[in-house]
């Protein structure tokens, strides 16, 4: 027999969590309604990912597709968080989005590199080799060699994400934390869910820019596929607004 876990009595912390989740969901609907142009762009960008990834048969190279699928998933998760007001926390997901794209590009069609990456946990020496091979510097060097403009966008956005929440840094902390000093005491106010305002607008724009940069990196991997399907044309059209 199995027993269902008992719910905690009213007044426990779970009620606070439920209220938080309810507010988060309400924020999502509010942002969806109030930010129509931004939502329209998010939907178009998601469609570009879908056209590139959905139903792809025997893509060459194969391995980067797995990374781009995870980048797309991270983009959707970040959109969900930003719409709900979780702006600080979304930065880490957006960084993950960029990193998956860059890893896919760095591996490309190099099967030996893919195997080394897949076997990184086989031994301490294998892990050490992969760490030395997959450094941010090495990946950025490869991106710059392929396209200096895309590499510049990537690096700029990556550093912005680090500043605003992908790592604990002052800019992101200041955006979501307020210290109020009173005689004999200091109050800390932390914003868990942002509402309307400059931080939300900034996060919406950053989310779109990151996704567009990921699709630009994808073009370095699959130029023929993106040209023939019209994805590159549509990507250029929407990128002009950012």
Per-residue pLDDT tens, the chain, 242 aa: give them: 334 445 555 555 557 899 999 999 999 999 999 999 999 999 999 999 999 999 878 889 999 999 999 999 999 999 999 999 999 999 999 999 999 999 999 999 999 999 999 999 999 999 999 999 999 999 999 999 999 999 999 999 999 999 988 878 878 778 887 777 777 777 778 889 999 999 999 999 999 999 999 999 999 999 999 999 999 999 999 999 99
**DSSP alpha helix (H) spans, the chain:** 13-34, 36-53, 63-84, 87-107, 111-118, 124-133, 136-146, 148-161, 170-176, 198-221, 223-228, 231-239
- Using a CB cutoff of 8 Å and minimum separation of 24, what contacts does 31-36 make? 31/82, 31/83, 31/84, 31/85, 31/200, 31/204, 32/83, 34/196, 35/204
* Distance of alpha carbon 97 from alpha carbon 214, whole angstroms: 7
**In this structure, what is the dihedral angle of CA atoms 231, 146, 143, 147, given to the nearest 10 degrees?**
-70
Exposure of 216 by Cβ count < 10 A (0-12 exposed, 13-18 middle, 19+ buried)?
Answer: buried
Q: Are 208 and 41 contacting, i.e. CB atoms less than 8 angstroms apart?
A: yes
| Residue 175: alpha-carbon gap to chain centroid | 19
In contact, 115 and 78? CB cutoff 8 Å: no
Give the pLDDT confidence score for residue 7 in this predicted structure.
53
pLDDT, residue 12, reads 53
Task: For residue 189, give the H/E element and its range.
Answer: strand 185-190
CA 230, 49, 107, 101 torsion: positive or negative? positive
């Amino acid at each position: 027999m199995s027993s269902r876990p008992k719910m905690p009595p009213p007044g426990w912390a779970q009620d606070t969590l439920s209220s938080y989740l309810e507010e988060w969901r309400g924020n999502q609907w509010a942002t969806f309604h109030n930010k129509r142009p931004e939502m329209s762009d998010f939907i178009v960008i998601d469609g570009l990912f879908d056209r590139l990834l959905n139903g792809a048969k025997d893509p060459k190279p194969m391995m980067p597709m797995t990374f781009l699928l995870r980048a797309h998933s991270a983009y959707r998760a970040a959109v969900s968080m930003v719409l709900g007001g979780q702006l600080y926390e979304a930065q880490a997901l957006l960084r993950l989005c960029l990193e998956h794209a860059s890893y896919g590009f760095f591996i490309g069609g190099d099967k030996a590199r893919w195997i080394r990456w897949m076997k990184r946990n086989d031994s301490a020496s294998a892990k050490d080799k992969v760490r030395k091979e997959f450094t941010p510097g090495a990946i950025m060097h490869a991106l710059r060699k392929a396209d200096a403009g895309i590499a510049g966008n990537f690096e700029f956005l990556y550093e912005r994400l680090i500043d605003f929440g992908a790592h604990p840094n002052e800019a992101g902390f200041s955006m979501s934390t307020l210290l109020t000093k009173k005689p004999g005491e200091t109050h800390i106010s932390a914003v868990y869910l942002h509402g309307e305002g400059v931080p939300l607008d900034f996060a919406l724009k950053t989310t779109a820019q990151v996704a567009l940069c990921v699709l630009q990196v994808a073009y370095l991997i699959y130029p023929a596929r993106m040209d023939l399907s019209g994805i590159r044309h549509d990507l250029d059209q929407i990128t002009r607004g950012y």
